[in-house]
Chains A and B, each alone.
Chain A
Amino acid sequence: MSDYAVEALNIVRTFSDGQVRALNDVTLHVPTGQVFGLLGPNGSGKTTMVRILSTILSPTGGNALVAGYDVVKQPNQVRKHIGLAGQNATVDESLTGFENLRMIGLLNHLNKAYVLARSRELLENFGLSDAANRVTKTYSGGMRRRLDLAAALVANPPILFLDEPTTGLDPQSRQELWAIIERLVEGGTTVLLTTQYLDEADRLARQLVVLDHGKIIAEGTSAELKAQMGATVLALTFTSTDAASRAAPLVKDLSHQPANLEGSVLEMTVDNGPAVTAEALRRIDAAGIELSGLALREPSLDDVFLSLTGHKVEEDESAQPALAGRRARRGANA
């Protein structure tokens, strides 16, 4: 077996008879024993990639090895080595937390005594012991995600796919889930994580791939990506759009990325926040242009996209009709 837990070579996946390309020639090498992040907005192909790697969907082109097994030719071997949790794979609402884990354990063909012990252990570890015998319909969003993750871990899989594990969670639940994921990786688990959040990728993933419209647009460590686009974002708000457009050329050279002017707000990614801010203020003041607000913030996924692609994240669900349809269906149900 190679050093990679997951190797995907030139994966292509089309929907609607080839009219929509959800994945276009995506190659991934996920090293064993760390978190690998797949970062991208809705419709970028992250979930399609996870579904292919977890044998739910077959690729239109290319091939993939998970734990050394081919996802198309040896799907059952792959399934024995993976756990899947996330937005599309859910727990059974009509069963209790314990019953959910027991069912997944039995369907993994583990022996009964082991399944019982393991289910109790996971419920305990994830702070769900008290809720173990309650139907999951009554669980909070955070509890559900923890149970979902526990279900993926019943069989102790060496490789874990987490598809947007914290989307829609409150900050505290996110922190709890992050801590759990970190503990898992310390224990030797390989995690392939998809996320829309840069801070999540930054916190958990050692290596990252950024997807946009089914294509890889950047890869590297989180530090490398940040270096590529500047460490902070300076946002200047002016009293009018006219003032903003007069100020823009004055501060242009302070960033190596093109500044983003939207209405009366000028945003630019900068390397040395405080120093650049001071310089920008001096120049704007000298030109007699009035500011109404100023902020320095961490770059968001939007900023990454802006600097990598030159366009903002589009809320373009139609790029992936199959998934958009599923979400709509589940949304209607919720």
Chain B
Amino acid sequence: MSALPTSLSTHSPLRWAVSDVMTIARRNLLALARTPVAIVFIVIQPIMFVVLFRYVFGGVINVPGHSYVNYLLPGILVQSTIFGSVGTAIGLSEDLQKGLIERFRALPMARLAVLAGRTVSDLFRNVLIIVIITGVGYLVGFRPTGSVVSYIQACLLMLLFAYCLSWGFAYVGLSAPNSEAAQAMTFPLIFPLVFASAIFVPVASMPSWLQPFAIHQPISQTATAVRGLMLGTPHGHSTWIALAWAVGAVLVLAPLAVNKYRKVA
């Protein structure tokens, strides 16, 4: 049918794997760009949290050494990127449901690329979320007092943390019967971690039985590190602890997700 040669180029398998990941990621981002309303829905929730905590609850929350809006915004950013990584579960579940993964599995592409491409596009989406929420924060009075460099470090830290978590959500997405269920399944997983944490209020205000968990759990450590970096205040070893959690999580979650992808048919 075609007069053209099939011209299969010869690259190393690794180069092809990277190319496949970028192809899939690009496809996901194109789909996102086509539905701007999806981006609105992703940021509307954190914006409501900003408004709720800044103006409704904020008056009764006392944080030593900061204005509450400065305390709140780094936490909201961490929360937004974590909720953003839930998108990995929803996206993969939809691809599975629609039969796209079926097609990908019959192609000579890198096995990992469907998952890696999805997590990479969700990483880009989280960058967008950080930019939007930072802007919203500025409008409601958020004035970070740390350096620009440490602000960027804080952003990179939470992006990494959310990226690593998204491998876990990839596993959830591949396990769920449909995208609605995928979203529902992530909720009980992240709800206790997000709310029993240092995201909205200082852990010291919580009952003593809850404090050990609230202090040491990974999302709190990440929020503490991000806040410390953004505001230029001491935050102990939390950056390193958050990094360790992130790397540890991806080492466990990525093989789980890949294994699930192999089995799911």
Contacts and interface: CB of A to CB of B under 8 A. Distances in A.
Given A79-B108, A94-B35, A332-B178, A89 B9 contact: no
A101 B75 CA distance: 42
Nearest to A157: B6
A243 to B, nearest CB: 50
Of A89, A92, A109, which is in contact with the most chain B CB atoms at under 10 Å from its CB? Answer: A109
A76 B265 CA distance: 17
B102 A89 contact: yes
A92 B265 CA distance: 18
A290 to B, nearest CB: 52
Contacts, number: 108
Contact of B27 (A56, A95, A108): A95
Contacts of B35: 94
Given A107-B23, A109-B9, A90 B98 contact: yes
Nearest to A111: B9
A153 B106 contact: no
Interface in B190-225: none
A79 B1 contact: no
Contacts of A240: none
Contacts of A108: 107-109
B106 A111 contact: no
A107 B20 CA distance: 6
Nearest to A186: B1
Interface in B1-37: 1-2, 4-9, 11, 16, 19-20, 23-24, 27, 30-31, 34-35
Contacts of B105: 55-56
B59 interface: no
Given A76-B108, A330-B97, A110 B102 contact: no
Interface in A276-334: 322, 325-326, 329-330, 332-333
Interface in B90-110: 97-100, 102-109
B1 A183 contact: yes
A329 B177 contact: yes
Contact of B31 (A54, A92, A184): A92
Nearest to B117: A107
A20 B7 CA distance: 44
Given A79-B106, A88-B99, A156-B1, 13 more contacts: A51-B102, A55-B105, A55-B106, A76-B108, A82-B106, A106-B23, A111-B9, A121-B2, A153-B1, A183-B1, A322-B265, A330-B98, A330-B99
12 contacts: A79-B106, A89-B106, A92-B31, A99-B27, A103-B27, A107-B20, A107-B24, A108-B109, A109-B9, A111-B8, A114-B6, A151-B103
